[in-house]
Every structure is written in C-alpha cells, then in structure tokens.
A and B are shown apart, each in its own frame.
Chain A
Amino acid sequence: MPVTSESAPPLSGIAAAAPPTARSIAWRFSNVAEVIQETPRARTLILDVPGWPGHRAGQHVDVRLTAEDGYQAQRSYSIASAPEDTRVGLTVERLDDGEVSPYLTDELRVGDRLELRGPIGGHFVWDVSISGPLLLVAGGSGVVPLRAMLRHRAAALGTADAGARHQVPARLLYSSRRWDEVVYRDELARLAEDDPTLEVTLTLTREQPQGWTGFRRRIDRMMLAEVAWPPAERPHVFVCGGTLLVESVASALVALGHDPARVKTERFGPTGGSA
C-alpha cells in the first residue's frame, strides 16, 4: 500500500531514502502519444505525462535529452495545449543548427519517451478569470503559448453567453513569413469564426498567397495602433516570438501609451536555457 501521508514514519527495517521534495519540479518521463505535423518545420508532440499536476496557459516545460555518453542538452518549450486538454502538447519548430529541436521534429516517434520537467513559470500566464481585453502578439512559433491561452479561453467560456465573452474579448496579431508557416492556421480560423469576440489578424512578411489582402509587413507601431485596443481600455498584453520582434513590439506598445506592467513578454532565443 502506498504511503501517502508526508508525516508517515518510514517502514521499520527499511532505510528511509531522502524524501522526495514534493514542491520542487521533478524531471519525469513522458510518452509520445501522437505527433501532428503543423507546418513543414513545426510539429506538435502530444504527450502522456504520468503525474502531470496540470498547468496554466502560457507556462513552459524544460526538455532534457541525454546522449549515450551521458551528455545532456536542455531546452525550454512552451506548452501548446490548454489546461482543459487531456494531454500535454508541445509544438516545436525545427532550427536547422539546433541541438535539440531537430531530434524532436525529425526523430522522435509515437511510443518514444521524452524527459521533461514542469509546468514552469508564473509570470507569462493568463487565465479567463483575469477579465479585460486580451491582446496577443506573436512572431512565428511564438504563437505556441498564445494558442494555449486561446484554447483555454474557448474551453472555459464554452457555451457562455455573449455577456461573459464580452468580459474577455481577445485579439491575436500574428506575424509569419509565409502562409504555409502559419502554425495552427485552421484552428485559429475556426476559433475566430465561432466567436465574434475573438479577432485573428495575420501579417505575412516574406511571401503572400495570390489575392492576399491582409498585412504584408513586419509588425510596427502603426499596425499595433490599428489592431490593438487603445491604452485606455487597459488590455492585458502577451507578446511572444524572437527576441528582436518581442523588443520592437513591446517598445512600440509602450510608446503608444500601454502600461509596461501590462505588457508581458516571452522572448524565444536559439537556446532555451542553460543545461
């Protein structure tokens, strides 16, 4: 019978191992249950994580790969799934000179194990109880944690009436290089179609499909002024993408008059943290 009480005495005659530090975020093995190719360069790993304690939209996990000789490489990946989803999803974009992502996007198969710890982070998080307009700005795979927020929002609001939805209207401004690199393209279109209080705006910076009438430049101050709520509406803002995009968007928002304390950022670097 498992001992569940922390204060239970060790069983007699058995040397007590160091007690697990219940509050620390432990490394654990997950199992790859499904793989979804999102774009030519990005795929979503759907994981069964034994003992997963649940997460908040916007949090990430640390993933650790160990080579046969013991060498370890560690990176952070945003959680793509909503807290309401039954399994944990990570969407990984391939970096050609990456040490970890090519393994995750090219090698890992259904049934393989993947070591991770999490959920991690309590700053870049949002849930539906935080009322007020929600402004999400993404560059490339920076859309991943913002998608978790939108999925959470859709699940939590469910069949809520228009009044409840209008408490948390949401807008996503998402910059991609080209149409086939837009991660979650169909899902985002469907979410916006089903919900008049969600607006999704794309900008395609390198190549546009024929007949494209949307934005075709990098996100700039003028675009933000057009798409975002005015600062007086006090939106909660989450910006995620490459470091340069995040910094230029965050400074443009502050220049437009948004409260810096309400502009939360998550920069994606080529390294996701030190091992």
Chain B
Amino acid sequence: MDSNALRLDGNAAAGILSEIFISDLTAARATCAGCGATGAVGALLVYAHGMGTVMRCPSCNAVVLCITRTATQVRLDPTGARRIVIDAATLPA
C-alpha cells in the first residue's frame, strides 16, 4: 500500500497535539510557510504510520508540523507553519 492510501486528516493528530497545546489545535487555522495556503489544522494531511506524526499542507504537500516521540521526549517541529491562529472562542475557559 503506498503512503497516500495510509494518510489521514489532521483530526488524527488531535490526541498527540493535546499533549502539547492546551486548546484543541485541530480547530485552529495554520498558514503553510511553503505556499501560504491557510486552512484548518484538522484538514492537514497526516502521515502517522511511520516514526512520527507528519502533517502536510493539502495544497503544496510541504511539511507544516511534525511531531515525534521518543522514550523520553515529545518533539514538535513547527518550521513549516508560518502562523497558527486559534479562535478565542475555542480556548479553554
């Protein structure tokens, strides 16, 4: 099976993102640093079948966010996200 058949939505990364961010990040909007496209984090393409959770831009396929977990660390690489905007209404009370 090629990796396109294994990809998921940003929704699938909501659990691991909740370990890092206090508000639900899948409802936030991310701007891709590669092409400038903006969309919901929940709509990014997620490849979670390998070593980590790789979240790619649905417009240009660049990596927007990447999360890897080791025995002692959770590592977030946000290089591909120019901006992440969280709607204040979705912030925890």
Contact = CB atoms under 8 A, between A and B. Distances in A.
Contacts of A120: 14-15, 18, 24
Contacts of B15: 25, 62, 74, 76, 117-118, 120, 273
A153 interface: no
B12 A123 contact: no
Contact of A121 (B4, B11, B19, B69): B11
Given A120-B18, A122-B90, A123-B40, A267 B48 contact: no
Interface residues of B, number: 32
A121 B24 contact: yes
Contacts of A117: 15, 18
Q: Kindly name the residue among A62, A118, A124 whose own CB sees the greatest number of chain B CB atoms within 10 A.
A: A124
Contacts of B26: 121-124
A272 B42 contact: no
Interface in B12-35: 12-16, 18-19, 22-24, 26-27
Q: How large is the interface on A (under 10, 10 to 19, 20 to 34, 35 or more residues)?
A: 20 to 34
Given A243-B5, A273-B12, A124 B42 contact: yes
B13 A273 contact: yes
B48 A60 contact: no
Nearest to B41: A123
Interface of B: 4-16, 18-19, 22-24, 26-27, 39-43, 48-49, 52-53, 69, 90, 92
18 contacts: A23-B23, A62-B15, A120-B18, A121-B24, A122-B27, A122-B90, A123-B10, A123-B42, A124-B26, A243-B6, A243-B8, A264-B43, A265-B43, A269-B8, A269-B49, A270-B49, A271-B6, A273-B53
